[in-house]
Amino acid sequence: MLQTMRDNAQGIIAKVIVFFIIFVFALWGVESIVNIGSGDTPVAEVGDIKVSEPEVQRVIEQQKANLRRQFGEQFDENLFNDQLLRQSAIEQLIQQNVDAVQADRLGLYAASAVVDEAIVNIPAFQLDGRFNKEQFLSVLRLNGWTPLTFRANLAEDIKVNQARQALTMTSIPTPFQARFGAMLNNELRTISYIEIRARDLMDDIQLTDDDVQSYYDANSSRFQTPEQAKVRYVGFDRAAMAADESVSEDEISKAYEDYLSDLSEKEQRSSRHILIEAGADRSSEEALAKANELKSKLDAGADFAELAKSDSDDIASGSNGGDLGYVSHGAFVPEFEAALFALQKGEVSQPVKTEFGYHIIQLLDIKAPEADSLEKRHDELAEWIRNEKAGQQIAEQTQELSNLAFSSGSVDEVADALGLKVQESGLFTRDFGEGFVASDAVRQQAFAENMLLDRELSDLVETEEGVYVFAVSEHDEPKTLPLTVVRNQVENLIKRDKAGELARAMADKIAAGEETSAAWVSVAVNYSQSAEIPRAAQSRAFALQQGELDVVDVQGGATVVRVDAIQIPELADLVASDEERTQIENRSARNSMTSYRKWSQENVEIKRPGA
């Protein structure tokens, strides 16, 4: 389909399309073109904000990526219900937009300076601990952001967090709440319990072939291979291009000079100063005269720290002998910095004029990173130069690659035009791949409908390794594995379910007094204390009255729990510790946040037409 459009791009069809666009622009404006074909039903609506299907899919992919990082090689996509992940993603996006709507209603905003400060402090945008513009742009490109969209989203996050902090940072318990919380935390309960483990019952469960076949037929989607694909790709590989670059000794020498210059920027200097302000109460001439007088005293042997304490107008540092600590380049105004970095260790400057007045500066110490020799850095610098040259070449040829990708019908045509070699990936899934397809951006494009059905060439994609275009060469739909292959897995699942049912039935009999042979285990615990009893059963015990019992479904079985005794400390005798006060504050903050979110959702119109 796309190739047909390319072939006709210069013909009568193109002219008709251009005429149509101009005509529509003239009558209705650009929005009429944007809105053509955009009538898809949103997944959800929060006020005037529409949640689109691509947004939902992006969050689902993020959820799967997080699960893959958590479980590593043990991650099995078939174990996670797609509908559950989808619903979770929709609710997450709804909550994000509800928070944004309420933040707007509260009149909150994020100042540009606050957004800028947040950006420069994000570690992903830093090199050697400092913000780097090229690193910033590179990270945004890899994640499909533009600087403007990233700033807008970050500003929205900052605005929403202001509302959250207003709630969580003002949750301060009263003295009574603190004592009452301490009383609850120190309440001691003697609990008896019987734990029925499902795994202990699995060996006694007998299955028929019909049991296995019926379960397999009813749950066949759980025993499928993942959807997979292969791609053929071509492009400019940074490492390969760097290996072909030549580097001269002059270039290495120049790079070494740049290395030394960069290293000097990281030098830290410890100093102290005496500030003499000029202003309404003291003219510039008078300030300079006093500064010269203090400099003369210092030259005559006066103690710098004592003069700073008695005469400096910088109250903050003056009380500390004028000490400014260690700083790097960029910490002070240019005039002060120039004077400071021109001093030798122990030297005292002449009065230095800045917008604040006159400063007398003494350099106390220098922390300079030790520079490696040219010989030691030689190979590393050569590699850096090759990579830089390769990066420049890629930048120069990226547009040509993009143009060819649009006008060509296959990866082979692009490769022939550029004299490059076509490569093919191994099989990969939507969530995992190796090598070229380890990139989320590559996998996301590869499984797009136009790529799978029409086998179109991809858009230009940039990875850490280089810049490429690709096309899907193989696509395997999920297939149900034969019962002979997954029989053991099916049997284990059936036995696990039946064992859980048996465990619950046995626990119910014990609770009803029909089974008396099981031995009770007794434990004395408070609510937050760890014990051998399953956590869910322990929590349930703190909701029962003395003498009551109940059956609790726990992971891997069921537990019968009974409360034998309750010991409550006297409220008047309790004093909450700092740790308990912190726990109460945190609990109050969570409750406040939960209430706020519930109120927010009730006061914002939410629709779920496509959920």
Tell me the one-letter amino acid at 75: F
The pair of three-digit structure tokens given for residue 8, joined into one six-digit string? 């006709």
Contact in structure between 537 and 561 (CB atoms under 8 Å): yes
Confidence label for 522 from pLDDT (cuts 50, 70 and 90)? very high
Is residue 207 predicted with pLDDT exceeding 90?
yes
**577 Ramachandran zone, left/alpha/beta (phi>0; psi -120 to 50):** beta
Is residue 324 predicted with pLDDT exceeding 50?
yes
Confidence label for 48 from pLDDT (cuts 50, 70 and 90)? confident
Contacts of residue 243, Cβ cutoff 8 Å, sequence gap at least 6: 386
pLDDT in the model for residue 29: 41
Is residue 6 predicted with pLDDT exceeding 50?
no
Mean pLDDT in residue range 174-182? 76
**Site of tokens 């000097």:** 264
Containing H/E element for 489?
A: helix 483-511
The pair of three-digit structure tokens given for residue 175, joined into one six-digit string? 């003295």
Distance CA 295, CA 274 (A): 10
Distance CA 510, CA 560 (A): 7
Stretch among 275-279, 344-348, 425-429, 486-490 having the lowest mean pLDDT: 275-279
Confidence label for 609 from pLDDT (cuts 50, 70 and 90)? low
Q: In 3-state terms, the chain is what percent helix, strand and coil (to 5)?
A: 55, 15, 30
Mean pLDDT in residue range 140-146? 71
Is residue 20 predicted with pLDDT exceeding 80?
no
Mean pLDDT in residue range 108-115? 81
pLDDT in the model for residue 14: 41
- Kindly list the distances between the CA atom of residue 514 and the CA atoms of 170, 509, 510, 559, 563, in Å, as whole numbers in the listed order: 53, 5, 6, 16, 19
Confidence label for 33 from pLDDT (cuts 50, 70 and 90)? very low
Query: Residues 366-404: pLDDT tens digits?
Result: 887 788 888 888 988 888 888 888 888 888 888 888 888
Query: Residues 546-561: pLDDT tens digits?
Result: 999 999 999 889 999 9
* Three-state SS letters, 175-187: HHHHHHHHHHHCC
Sign, Cα dihedral of 184, 185, 188, 192: positive
Bridge-based pairing state of the strands 268-276 and 188-197 = unpaired
Q: Which of 544, 459, 560 is nearest to 504 (CA)?
A: 560
pLDDT in the model for residue 463: 84
* DSSP tag of 319: T
Contact in structure between 182 and 577 (CB atoms under 8 Å): yes
pLDDT in the model for residue 1: 34
* DSSP tag of 224: B
**pLDDT higher at 112 or 232:** 232
Bridge-based pairing state of the strands 228-237 and 606-607 = unpaired
Distance CA 188, CA 190 (A): 7
What mean pLDDT value characterizes the chain?
84
Distance CA 562, CA 540 (A): 10
Mean pLDDT in residue range 308-314? 90
pLDDT in the model for residue 325: 84
Which long-range contacts (C-beta less than 8 Å, at least 24 apart) are formed by 174-182? Answer: 177/584, 177/588, 178/576, 178/580, 178/581, 178/584, 179/571, 179/574, 179/575, 179/576, 180/571, 181/576, 181/580, 181/583, 181/584, 181/587, 182/574, 182/575, 182/576, 182/577, 182/580
Mean pLDDT in residue range 263-285? 86
Stretch among 170-184, 226-240, 308-322, 507-521 having the lowest mean pLDDT: 170-184
* DSSP tag of 552: E
Containing H/E element for 133?
A: helix 133-142
The pair of three-digit structure tokens given for residue 546, joined into one six-digit string? 């003395």
| Alpha carbons within 13 A on the beta-carbon side of 514 | 6
Distance CA 606, CA 611 (A): 12
* Alpha helical stretches, state H, 169-314: 175-185, 209-218, 238-243, 249-265, 284-299, 304-311
pLDDT in the model for residue 75: 64
Distance CA 2, CA 409 (A): 9
pLDDT in the model for residue 209: 94
pLDDT in the model for residue 144: 64
Q: How far apart are the first and last CA of the chain?
A: 31
Contact in structure between 417 and 404 (CB atoms under 8 Å): yes
pLDDT in the model for residue 173: 73
Confidence label for 73 from pLDDT (cuts 50, 70 and 90)? low
Q: Characterize 43-66 residue by residue with b for buried, 16 or more Cβ atoms within 10 angstroms of its Cβ, and e for exposed.
A: bbbbbebbbbeebbbbbbbebbee
Contact in structure between 44 and 607 (CB atoms under 8 Å): yes
- Kindly list the distances between the CA atom of residue 324 and the CA atoms of 229, 318, 343, 426, in Å, as whole numbers in the listed order: 61, 10, 15, 58
Confidence label for 78 from pLDDT (cuts 50, 70 and 90)? low
